[in-house]
Amino acid sequence: MKIEAAFRDVFKGRNQDLQLEIRDVRMDSRLVEKGDVFFAIGGGNKFVEATLERGASLVIYDDPEVEIDNSRAILVEDTIETMQELAREYRKLLDVKVIGITGTNGKTSTKDIVYSILSQKYRGIKSQGNYNNHIGLPYTILQLREGDEFAVLEMGMSSFGEIDLLCEISGIDYGIITNIGESHLEFLKSVDNVFKAKGEMLKYLPMERRILFGDDRYLKDVEGIKAGFEEENNFILSRVAEDEEGVNFTLSGEEYRIPINGYYNAINAALGVALGKTFGMSYEEIRGGLEEASLSSMRYEKRKISEKLYINDAYNADPLSMRSAFKSFNSLYNDTYKVMVLGDMLELGEGSGDYHRDLKDDLEGIKVDLILLYGDEMRALKEAFGDTDRVLYLGSKEEIVKRIDRIEGRTTILLKGSRGMKLEEIIR
């Protein structure tokens, strides 16, 4: 098998002759079964012996203080770099198309949508969970199996050089950039730098394999295949209509529906349609993929408890995604009592207070009965609103839960904040 050949080639260069059969690869020692390769990362080095006893065919570890005398355990200088090297070598042996997806917002949703579309015609995989960095991406590549025809890989970053590395390891064939906005400013300092960092993807792709949101001010002048509302785009989005079960939209005269809420998901879906078209897929195949699409957890995830409907959109947050969430929530559930629970937008750097304060203008005209703010940074937004019963700052999740519990009748509650705020803990 090719994965075993890749392992042999890499370790042969290190003067180690490997003879092994690989069932799967693991980073979690608790999941290791007979025939698996275990990558011991950080604290995982403590479980080298345990995974060997469980039947691991190979254990790769990097802690020289681990004393183990077993030919199936290989000490390396850096487990992560070794995994990257193995993924790089394995990718070269595979006849598979790699689609990389980056952008400030919508990466995961677009990944899920693209996977659903391509799966109508082809066999492949997508990044799971938050496996979108220098560890998760090579690990995902090692999950590929012979016969797979595509891999949809989410590519995240917080500084320069990270997208570059992910594109190089994956041997990217197609790329989607969803948008460019205010994120990771604590490290990158400006939105211009966010564009430069995410734009590292572009040099790996010819124009006809770049799928871009053409209305974005940073992307509209980049050569590529573009989808958006403006007439200059290759795929023109129009007639977007959202109901409580999903979004209808028209793209260059063709009508589609996606069973996912969020006005902005029409844009993510349009990018997916454009990618499907470059793969030569038919309207019926693409439409079928959209109709079967589902999103990863905490992306407009609904949960009903008695008369209260919680909408958990709290996987991440920045000014752009906040405004998109407000727009979507504004048009829905207006026959219920509407509550927003907003948590801090993290990693916005020195201008964080201003970014939070500026949300006031976006919230002024929103149809919502009560706004509950949580987190140190959200104090700035409360100060901007001043003394009003419609907008309350609460210092703990317990206070938020108690305030929500006081509400009677049909209620819809939107949760939006950065991952570190863990707003899902409010759902009880």
Task: Determine the average pLDDT of the residues in 119-139.
Answer: 96
Confidence at residue 39, expressed as pLDDT on a 0 to 100 scale: 98
Signed CA dihedral, 379, 380, 386, 391: sign only: negative
- Asked whether residue 216 carries a pLDDT value surpassing 90, the answer given is yes
Strands, E, within 155-224: which ranges?
A: 174-177, 210-213
CATH superfamily membership of 2-79: MurE/MurF, N-terminal domain (3.40.1390.10)
Task: Determine the average pLDDT of the residues in 29-50.
Answer: 96
- Asked whether residue 16 carries a pLDDT value surpassing 80, the answer given is no
Task: Determine the average pLDDT of the residues in 73-85.
Answer: 97
Helices 162-170 and 191-198, interaxial angle, to 10°? 20
Q: Give the DSSP letter of residue 37.
A: E
- Asked whether residue 32 carries a pLDDT value surpassing 80, the answer given is yes
Tell me the CATH architecture of domain 94-291.
Answer: 3-Layer(aba) Sandwich (3.40)
Task: Determine the average pLDDT of the residues in 187-192.
Answer: 93
Strand arrangement of the beta sheet that strand 174-177 belongs to? 124-126, 150-154, 97-102, 174-177, 210-213, 225-228, 235-243, 246-251, 254-258
Task: Determine the average pLDDT of the residues in 287-303.
Answer: 89
For residue 274, give the amino acid letter.
A
If one compares 186 and 6, the residue with the highest pLDDT of the two is: 6
310: enclosing H helix or E strand: strand 308-312
CA pair distance 106, 110, nearest whole angstrom: 6
Confidence at residue 17, expressed as pLDDT on a 0 to 100 scale: 67
Strand arrangement of the beta sheet that strand 370-374 belongs to? 301-305, 308-312, 411-416, 337-343, 370-374, 391-393
The chain-wide mean pLDDT, for the chain, equals 95
Please state, in angstroms and as integers, the Cα–Cα distance from residue 302 to each residue in 117, 197, 305, 421, 427, following that order: 23, 33, 10, 19, 11
- Asked whether residue 92 carries a pLDDT value surpassing 70, the answer given is yes
Task: Determine the average pLDDT of the residues in 226-238.
Answer: 98
- Asked whether residue 164 carries a pLDDT value surpassing 70, the answer given is yes
Confidence at residue 210, expressed as pLDDT on a 0 to 100 scale: 99
Task: Write the pLDDT tens digit of every residue in 323-359.
Answer: 999 999 998 999 999 999 999 999 999 899 999 999 9
Confidence at residue 378, expressed as pLDDT on a 0 to 100 scale: 98
Task: Write the pLDDT tens digit of every residue in 52-78.
Answer: 999 999 999 999 999 898 989 999 999
If one compares 14 and 392, the residue with the highest pLDDT of the two is: 392
CA 210 to chain centre: 18
CA pair distance 81, 135, nearest whole angstrom: 9
Task: Determine the average pLDDT of the residues in 128-141.
Answer: 95
For β-strands 308-312 and 301-305, DSSP reports them as antiparallel
329: enclosing H helix or E strand: helix 319-330
The ranges assigned to domains in the chain are 2-79, 94-291, 301-426
Neighbouring C-beta atoms of residue 221, cutoff 10 Å: 8
Q: Extract the tokens encoding 393.
A: 């700052």
380: enclosing H helix or E strand: helix 379-385
Q: How confident is the model at residue 19 (pLDDT cuts 50, 70, 90)?
A: confident
The alpha carbon torsion through 331, 246, 212, 351 (nearest 10 deg) reads 40
* CATH code given to domain 301-426: 3.90.190.20
Confidence at residue 183, expressed as pLDDT on a 0 to 100 scale: 86
- Asked whether residue 15 carries a pLDDT value surpassing 60, the answer given is no
Can you give the pTM of this predicted structure?
A: 0.89
- Asked whether residue 308 carries a pLDDT value surpassing 70, the answer given is yes
The alpha carbon torsion through 46, 50, 52, 56 (nearest 10 deg) reads -90
CA pair distance 321, 425, nearest whole angstrom: 21
Domains 2-79 and 301-426 share a fold: no
Confidence at residue 130, expressed as pLDDT on a 0 to 100 scale: 85
Buried b (16+ CB within 10 A) or exposed e, 314-341: bbbbbbbbbbbbbebbbebbeebbbbbb
- Asked whether residue 13 carries a pLDDT value surpassing 80, the answer given is no
Task: Write the pLDDT tens digit of every residue in 243-273.
Answer: 988 999 999 999 999 999 888 999 999 999 9
Please state, in angstroms and as integers, the Cα–Cα distance from residue 386 to each residue in 30, 135, 357, 390, following that order: 51, 45, 11, 10
Confidence at residue 12, expressed as pLDDT on a 0 to 100 scale: 83
